[in-house]
Each structure stands twice: as C-alpha cells, then as structure tokens.
Amino acid sequence: MSVKVGLISDTHGLLRPQALEALQGCDYLIHGGDIGKPEILEALRKIAPLTVVRGNNDTDEAWAADVPFEAVLRIGDVGIYVTHILADVPETLPPDIRVVVTGHSHKPLQQLRHGVLFINPGSAGPRRFKLPITVGVLHLDGLEVRGELIELDLGQG
C-alpha cells in the first residue's frame, strides 16, 4: 500500500493556497517548524493527520508551548524523525528511522546518509533571498521511501 506524506516547513505565518493545494491527497502531513501562527496548524489538520515540531522562531509564542522540538512518526515499518534544525538530529537514530525531516535553512534538499533519507522541504512561507518556495512529499511503499520536492507556482507578482 502506497502512502503519501506531505512535508511543509518555515511558513512563518504565511500559508499559501498553492501549498495547501500541493498537499491535498496526502495521508499524513509533517510541519518542520517555524510555523508562525496556530491557524496554519488548524488548516493543515483539515487535510490529514499532522505531526509538527517547534522551530526556533516559535519559541516565544504561548500557543507553541505544547509543540515539541522533535517528533517521531511511524507509518507501517518506516520511522520518520522530525526536528527543525539539522544540527539537532542525534548522531544515533533508532534502527527503524528511514527518514529525517528538517527545516530551518529554507533550502530544499534531499540526500541519502547511511541509508537514511534526509529531506528538507524548504520554505513555503515568505520568500527569503532568492530561494524557491517549496513543499515536499514522501512516497512510502512498504520499506521503499522516495522523496519529492515541489516548487510552488506563484504566478506573476
């Protein structure tokens, strides 16, 4: 059975309609931190069950006090570790962790490290520098894991 996990990060208070559209049809969602406001989480929960971690810009927000700095989601036999900042990923992960999701850098990236897929969906919020506005999707099929980074079409202006 194939499962789609939508990835979004660094919304910083801006949830674009293009991001919501790109995440439609996902079975689960993960927000990699720097959320910005609780309404973003409410909107994402309407699409699919949501796993969320707190980003470095969410720390002064009263609503974010219950949001953890790290989370583990297990879908079938695939473990997914989530934290906002790549440097905070532990050296040793449980053996069932096949994917690490981070945010923070605003740079979309996926790479395989020792058999674990490290993926950063980039930023779906306000544009920073000349970086693209992106989300991601994990395609899980049994133990097979494939990441996809999606640049959002913001049209003109």
Question: What CATH number corresponds to the domain at position 75?
Answer: 3.60.21.10
Q: What is the pLDDT of residue 59?
A: 86
In DSSP terms, 111 is beta-bridged to 118
Residue 48 in domain: yes
Other Cβ atoms less than 10 A from the Cβ of 95: the count is 7
Residue 156 in domain: no
> Could you state, in chain order, the average pLDDT of each consecutive group of 10 residues for the chain (157 residues)?
95 97 98 97 98 94 93 95 97 94 97 95 93 97 95 77
Averaged pLDDT score across all residues of the chain: 95
Q: What is the pLDDT of residue 156?
A: 52
User: Residues 6 or more apart from 114 whose CB is under 8 A from it?
Assistant: none
- Cα distance between residue 67 and residue 103, in whole Å: 15
Residue 107 in domain: yes
Residue 157 in domain: no
Residue 26 in domain: yes
Question: Do the Cβ atoms of 104 and 86 come closer than 8 Å?
Answer: yes
- Cα distance between residue 88 and residue 139, in whole Å: 25
The one-letter code for the residue type at 4 is K
How many domains does the chain fold into? 1
pLDDT digits over 21-42, tens only? 999 999 999 999 999 999 999 9
- Cα distance between residue 116 and residue 97, in whole Å: 7
Domain that holds residue 53: 2-151
Query: Which alpha helices (DSSP H) does 11-110 contain, by range?
Result: 17-23, 38-45
Residue 82 in domain: yes
- Cα distance between residue 48 and residue 23, in whole Å: 9
Residue 86 in domain: yes
Residue 134 in domain: yes
Q: Is the pTM of this model over 0.85?
A: yes
Q: What is the pLDDT of residue 61?
A: 82
